[in-house]
Structure 1
Amino acid sequence: MKTTYIKLSLASLLLLGVYSCKKGEATASDYELSASADSASAMISDSVSSVANMKVKDKQFIKTADVNMEVKDVYEATISIEKSVQDLGGFVTHSELHSNVISEDIYNTSNENAMLVKKYQTENTMQVRVPTERLGELLTLINNKKLFLNSRVINAEDVTANIKYAELEGKRIKKTGENISQLKTNKDKVKMGDENMTEDNLQQLANMDVTDNLKYSTIDIYIKEPKLRIAEIAITNSHNIDNKYKFNFIYDAKNAFVEGFYLIQKIAVGLITVWPILLILGLVIYFLRKRKPLKNNTPTLSE
């Protein structure tokens, strides 16, 4: 009996050993599959920070990003980013594309034609918003357009406590409104009711703002081209045109004669306008001249 028990025990141990080996092999195989899947996932999201896709149980985050990079063609990159944002269910809130002119020169190529040569650098400042769950996808698409990444900042602000506080504030405001409604109607009650309603409106606005920021992430994007571009613009030789019409003797002489005639008329009209002053001056001169002979005829003491 004892021998039989020992044999059964040994058989059980052997079976357990075989099962454990098979289980270990299965576990190793599962681990290898999991590792390969994780590796593939890491390759796909290699250029995107884990912050963009971060999820924590019982936590809520407002996510924002700031990207500064250089691209081959700013205009083409802008169109591509805007299309990607729309495809992901987002929208563009700001896009300011402009060219900074470094230099501007004019070269005359003939008596009539010239060439305007501009050296410039194009850049664009954008702000877009996408559903928060698609933030990582958009950052990957933006990253594919880069020649050089100057900087990328991704923020995830934990607003869990703020949301809880907003709920408590809502309950307080509601309770205050109920207490005010039980008061006797007078000026103070009307004022307190109005103030409580204003506070309730502001709280609802803040809640809507937080909800919107939780649903949509904001991304600020600055892109520019690393090298200067050159634009050649055909224009008219303005210098030659200026020389052509700079002076016309017959026309200018005619205008000078007419302007001289008008000047004489203006002088005559001016003299007529100040006739009282001229009259007074004439009288003064007349009396001064009349008194001079009297002074000369007056005998002196020596005579």
Structure 2
Amino acid sequence: MKTTYIQLSLSAFLLLGIYSCKKGEATTTENYAADSTAAVSLSDSVSSVASMKVKDKQFIKTADVNMEVKDVYDATISIEKTVQDLGGFVTHSNLQSNVISQDTYNTSDNDAMLIKKYQTENTIQARVPTEKLGELLVKINDKKLFLNSRTIHAEDVTSNIKYAEMEGKRIKKTEENISQLKANKDKVKLDNNNMAEGNLQQLANMDTTDDIKYSTIDIYIKEPKLRIAEIAVTNTRNIDNQYKFNFIYDAKNAFVEGFYLIQKIAVGLITVWPLLLILAAVVYFLRKRKLTKPETTKVSE
């Protein structure tokens, strides 16, 4: 009896252990599935490069987006407003319509319709605080019909910043050394060159700081299909036909132009009078020679 009790106790303990293990495995699986879902959702919305942060590292981040949208104008207004709401600013926006073809169709004697087929596109360059780059990319992604390409680049400039600090110290040390020299032309030249180098270094530092603080994003958007514009215009062909020919007016001009032509011919003949005189003399000489030529008599046999 005691042996049976011990066996039952061991069986119950083993079943309890197996149940606990199964429950722990199920919990772990559920947590992993939830984490995987969250990771996929984040990767679908924006690349981790846009929001990447590494301790003791400084990055200059840029992005390039090429996509197709339903309406370029509406998308442009929305993107520019989003950039401003995130604390950024637009540095370039070039919205234009490329005309593929245009034809004019006459609808009446006076009216016509100009049909234009065109495609609208826009190139936008904006700058946003670097910590807002990922959020901007998510909101831009909501406007797309089709994403052609998206490039996100993070340049590690930590070593460049360290080098700039060392250069600043070197320029400062050079300034102290120059100040100890005697005043002469060479000292003025050295001091001027060192100051110019220091100014360039400060400018480079400011540019790097600004590029780290604000990320640059280039956005190219276009509409996937052609649009058609119908523009009411005047029937120019009918108007041209109305004024193309006027008999009385054209006849009068022809008579006047004929009179001017006679005058031009007369003036032209007067201009070449030496040639006419020479020609008259040649004709006169030939005719006179022909008249004075002795007649040949025929001898009869």
- TM-score grouping bracket, smaller chain normalisation: 0.7 to 0.9
Deviations 1:132-189 (A, max 9, x none): 1111111011000000111100001000000110111111111112222222222222
AA matched with 1:202: L
- Identity across aligned pairs (percent)? 74
Structure 1 residue 37: Cα displacement: 8.1
Q: Which residue of 1 aligns with 2:298?
A: none
C-alpha contact 1:45 1:140 (8 A) present in aligned 2:
no
Number of equivalenced pairs? 268
AA matched with 2:71: D
Using the alignment, how far apart are the partners of 1:188 and 1:105 within structure 2?
74
Using the alignment, how far apart are the partners of 1:189 and 1:266 within structure 2?
85
Q: Is the alpha carbon distance of 1:283 and 1:188 closer, same or farther for their aligned partners in structure 2, counting shifts above 3 Å?
A: farther
Q: Which residue of 2 aligns with 1:193?
A: 191
Using the alignment, how far apart are the partners of 1:209 and 1:165 within structure 2?
15
Q: Which residue of 2 aligns with 1:93?
A: 91
TM-score (norm 2): 0.76
Q: Is the alpha carbon distance of 1:260 and 1:282 closer, same or farther for their aligned partners in structure 2, counting shifts above 3 Å?
A: closer
Q: Which residue of 1 aligns with 2:218?
A: 220
Q: Which residue of 2 aligns with 1:114?
A: 112
Structure 1 residue 115: Cα displacement: 1.1
Using the alignment, how far apart are the partners of 1:268 and 1:203 within structure 2?
85
Q: Is the alpha carbon distance of 1:259 and 1:168 closer, same or farther for their aligned partners in structure 2, counting shifts above 3 Å?
A: farther
What does residue range 92-241 of structure 1 map to in structure 2 within 5 Å? 92-241=90-239
Q: Is the alpha carbon distance of 1:266 and 1:176 closer, same or farther for their aligned partners in structure 2, counting shifts above 3 Å?
A: farther
Unaligned runs of 5+ in 2: 1-19, 293-301
Q: Which residue of 1 aligns with 2:52?
A: 54
Using the alignment, how far apart are the partners of 1:169 and 1:140 within structure 2?
39
Secondary structure of 1:51's partner?
Answer: coil
Q: Which residue of 2 aligns with 1:79?
A: 77
TM-score (norm 1): 0.76
Structure 1 residue 192: Cα displacement: 1.8
Using the alignment, how far apart are the partners of 1:127 and 1:265 within structure 2?
70
- Give me the CA root mean square deviation: 3.5
What does residue range 15-34 of structure 1 map to in structure 2 within 5 Å? none
Q: Is the alpha carbon distance of 1:291 and 1:244 closer, same or farther for their aligned partners in structure 2, counting shifts above 3 Å?
A: closer
Q: Is the alpha carbon distance of 1:137 and 1:283 closer, same or farther for their aligned partners in structure 2, counting shifts above 3 Å?
A: same
Deviates more, 1:110-119 or 1:71-80: 110-119
Deviates more, 1:250-259 or 1:141-150: 250-259
AA matched with 1:246: K
Using the alignment, how far apart are the partners of 2:246 and 2:189 within structure 1?
81
Structure 1 residue 120: Cα displacement: 1.1
1:246 to 244, 260, 271: 244
Using the alignment, how far apart are the partners of 2:70 and 2:267 within structure 1?
72
Using the alignment, how far apart are the partners of 2:264 and 2:285 within structure 1?
36
